[in-house]
Each structure stands twice: as C-alpha cells, then as structure tokens.
A and B are shown apart, each in its own frame.
Chain A
Amino acid sequence: MQTAQETKLTINDESPKFDVESIRRDFPILGREVHGRPLIYLDSAATYQKPQVVIDAVSRYYAEDNANIHRGVHYLSQLATREYEDARVKIKRFINAAESHEIIFTRGTTESINLVSNSFGRKYIKEGDEIIISAMEHHSNIVPWQMLCEQTGARLRVIPINDAGELLIDEFIQMLNPRVKIVGVVHVSNALGTINPVKRIIELAHSHDIPVLIDGAQAAPHFKVDVQDLDVDFYAFSGHKLCGPTGTGVLYGKTAILNEMPPFMGGGDMIASVSFEKTTYNTLPHKFEAGTPHIAGGIGLGVAIDYLTGIGLDRIAAYENELLEYATELIGAIPGVKIIGTAREKASVLSFTLDTVHPHDIGTILDQEGIAVRAGHHCAQPVMKRFAVPATARASFAFYNTKEEIDKLAEGVQKVTAIFG
C-alpha cells in the first residue's frame, strides 16, 4: 500500500494544473441561474452538488437494474445486490477500512451516530458513566448523547475550545477517567472549519481504553481519511456531502466492537432466522441494516467516490486550501467583517459576522446576487453561544468553486455594507 506521503509526492511531481473549469462542466446545476444571475454555490458544507455521473448512476439503476437486494434468486436482484455491495467495497477502500463488513450503510451521519448511541449506549453505558463530546459539535453529535444520558443517568462532559475555535487538549486530558465510556468528537467543525487533531484525541482516549467516535461529515469530502491509521473505533459520515445522493451515509466500526453490539433497528435483512420464540441476528454488516435500504443511493455514492478519487483527495485539499486562503484574506479585509473560527488547521469553511448586520440579512442580499451561503446557527447553537453571536453567515468552498466566485462574494458583502450604511 502506498502511504499518503508517497501519493502526495507523486501528484506534486506530475499533476497538471487543477482544471476547475473542466470540473465545473461535470456539475449541471452550476450552469443554472438564480434570480437572473449565475448561481454561485457557496453552501457545500450543507450539501454538495452532484456530478452528472452520480445523477446518471441513480437514474440508470432505476431504469435498468431495479430490484430488491439480498433476497432474490432472480437475475435483477443479484445484479442490484452486486452493485450495492460493490459500493460498500469502494467505501471500504476510500477510508481504508480493513474489512467491507465494517462499512454499515445508514441514512447519513445523524443516523450513524444514533446507531452508536443507541446500540453501544444500551449495552455499555450506565448511571454514573461519562460521555465526552466537544464544544464545537453539530447538534447531531450532542442530542443523541443527551438522550442517552437522560435514559441512563450518565453524564455528558464537554471539551472546551479557545477563541480561535481550537479544542483545549490539556483540558481533555484532565477529563479522562475510568467512568468515561465513549468520546465523540467532530473531525472538522461545520460552523468554524477547525480541523481537530483526532489522531491525538484517539491515542489519548485509547490510553484509558476508551473507544472514540469521530463525526467525519465535514472531513470526508475535504481530505483523505484513513480509519486504520487513525485507529478510530467509529467513523460516521454522509454520502450527500461526498457528491452522493441525500439519504445515504456510512458508519464505520471496528469488527470486534460491532460484533459485541446489539442491533439498532429490527426488521428484514438484519436477521438470520426468526421464530416467535427466538430470533437470531444476521452477521455484519447486515445486523445493522434493517429493511430495504436506499439502494440507488448507495450505488450513487459508490460512483461519487469513484469521481472524487478520480480527481484525487490530495489535489482537492490543496485547491480548497487555496480558495480558503484567498477568501479569508479578501473577505477578512472588508471593514466590519469578523471571521469566526481562526484555527491554525482549517477546512474550507468561512464563517463571519458583519458589524451590526444580522446574518439573515446578509444571506438574503447575497441570495439576490445569486450567491448561496448559509445564514444561521448551523445546527451548532453552543458554538454560537461560545462566540457570543446569535448566528453567522457561512461561505463554504468545494473543489468546483473558483476565485472569481469569491470575488463576487466580496462584492456582495460590500453591497450589504452599502445598504446598511
């Protein structure tokens, strides 16, 4: 196996210039207009746009191969099963999991985390136990644990962050003790862009035999994730943030730990045999995949991963970094702009506020210019509270965005300033 370092060197030596114009042509939606202006889509942290190959894969599946999986002896069922399971293998390679059965299909990151909080939580977490999360979690990595705490009497503890939006690792070290049963931390903050030192966090937790769940929703699209190198116990991410269909997601889990966990939902496909006296559960990954899944979505996600790896995650990361630096400088220089989230390690998310102008007003004015940004609390209200802002405007950049679009964003923000005087 090639290491990440080797891959990077090869690419740096040989790769041609990042041809963003050619990439943009892969995304039909980027050709449309909004309010009579060309769409400038700067909301990829909410969901990525889809390349034509993914749209075609979903459409082709329904047009040509549609059948239920893992059930039929007939030709189409076997074909659909193979395509769906091929997608699982692609995902396994994408995050360098050891086994395909460690890849569990879900509806998204939220469901992946709920699977762990319910299944792992039910078995291992009791009254008086502790669960550690961080102050920059998305609501989807807060609420499931709070619900578990309410049910069990366990206690939720929160790793604090500094003014730049970085985790205070020393505080985390102090929080580790035998009562802690799981640590759940976000890899990349959706509201701040911070890339957390998850490998270090996992090492520290493991030194106390505590398993770790990483919310990778915002990380997986931006750079190469290697679950074996991280030695992570659970890694959750969404298909729709990888240019795949909505309603698809993944939970990676280590075989040993998944085998010990009870099923999450009961139903078809997750059983080996059922009688009214006793049901025997299926093996991994099917134990955690009750009911007919989003087959077309899973296949589409496989194609999306092929597409992303075709471009190269290292090249995507390098290009997006360029965009982030450019935008940080340009937008940060506008009088009245305050950037929220200034960590040293950041993904291409630019959250900002503008003097006395509320982010919703920024969002509406930019929208009229055809520019899509997110305005609000980004499902991370504790982060907003930490920075004492009700909301932020957030521009997030993907590999299909351009510096020209960031210029337009800057013009838009200046127009907001002009309107509000």
Chain B
Amino acid sequence: MSDINELYQQVILDHNKKPRNFKVLDTANRRQEGYNPLCGDQLVLYLEMDGDVIKDVSFQGQGCAISKASASMMTAMVKGKTAAEAEVIFDEFHRMVKGEMDPATEPHHLGRLTILAGVREFPARVKCASLSWHTLHAALAGQDEPVSTE
C-alpha cells in the first residue's frame, strides 16, 4: 500500500508553504503559461535566458501542494543550467514520476528532486508534479501557445 507520508514529505510541504522563486521576474525574456484543464491548476513560468543558459527563473500560479512544490524545486534546480541540461533533467524527472525510472537503482541527474519519487504511487497526481516541467519544456522550445497537460 502506498504511504501518504511518502508523498507529503516535509521538504515538499515546506516548498508548498514557502515556494522558492515565486514571483514575477522583471528581467524575464520568456514567459510561458501552463494549465491542467482536468483540475484547473495553472502556472506562469518566467525565464531569463542568456544565450543557451537559464540565467534566472521564477513562477506564479495556483495549484496543489505537489504542483507547487514541484515547480518550486524545479526553479531551484534549473537556475544556471543550459537548456540542454534542463531537458535531460525533465526527461529523467518525467520517467521517475511515471514509474519508468527508479532513481534508487539507475543513474540520473535529479539530485534532491528524487524526493518527488513518491508521486509514482499516485497516478492521479503525476500531472500535478509534471505541469511545471512541461511548461519549462515549452518555454525552452519557444512555444507561444499555453501548454496543457492534456
């Protein structure tokens, strides 16, 4: 049986309560909206790109603890990384929360993001955890349309 405390770990609750980089980024040169039409979660991601490097990143929006914590941790993780590096992490993260990659046994670059591995036991919540990442992916691709988890 999946343990609810595995999902709502202290670190996640802390990021939910005090999300990092939760603001409008005045220096942003890219802005991307993300939306989960099933549950109504929405966020806006702000990126300041310096060439290929994510110089600064922030987000705003509303959502559950999982989506907010995931977005918060993502911003902390990708700041200073290149777009290509962020894409690698996105792919690993996505496979982890879908239960296709086990960070305990396989090599990865997820660092403390592995704390969100518990999401894989809650299929209904995978989209919450990945909304911010899909939004980042769309922003890096220079997509104009709001991105949807559907």
Contacts and interface: CB of A to CB of B under 8 A. Distances in A.
Interface residues of B, number: 22
How big is the A interface, by class? Answer: 20 to 34
A293 interface: no
A68 interface: no
Interface in B13-68: 13, 17, 38-41, 62-66, 68
Interface in B113-141: 122, 124-125, 128
B40 A419 contact: no
A360 B66 CA distance: 9
A357 B39 CA distance: 15
Nearest to A363: B124
B1 A384 contact: no
A268 interface: no
B105 interface: no
B65 A358 contact: yes
A408 to B, nearest CB: 15
A377 interface: yes
Given A358-B63, A360-B64, A361-B8, A381 B40 contact: yes
Contacts of B38: 376
Contact of A35 (B1, B17, B39, B125): B1
A360 B125 contact: yes
A390 to B, nearest CB: 5
A364 B13 CA distance: 15
A65 B39 CA distance: 42
B40 A364 contact: no
A421 B12 CA distance: 13
Nearest to A420: B13
A36 interface: yes
A409 interface: no
A368 interface: yes
Contacts of A361: 8, 64-66
B71 to A, nearest CB: 13
A95 interface: no
A376 B39 contact: yes
A365 interface: yes
A163 B62 CA distance: 23
B7 interface: yes
A353 B137 CA distance: 32
A391 interface: yes
B88 interface: no
Contact of B122 (A36, A364, A375): A364
Nearest to A366: B4
B40 A421 contact: no
B66 to A, nearest CB: 7
B17 to A, nearest CB: 8
A360 B39 contact: yes
Interface in A5-43: 35-36
A364 B125 contact: yes
B40 A376 contact: yes
A36 B1 contact: yes
17 contacts: A35-B1, A358-B64, A360-B41, A361-B64, A361-B66, A364-B4, A375-B39, A377-B39, A377-B40, A390-B40, A390-B41, A390-B63, A391-B39, A391-B40, A419-B8, A420-B13, A421-B13
Given A361-B64, A364-B124, A420-B65, 8 more contacts: A358-B64, A358-B68, A359-B64, A361-B66, A364-B7, A390-B62, A419-B8, A419-B13
Interface of B: 1-2, 4-5, 7-8, 13, 17, 38-41, 62-66, 68, 122, 124-125, 128
The 6 closest A-B pairs by CB, nearest first: A358-B64, A360-B64, A368-B4, A377-B40, A361-B65, A390-B62
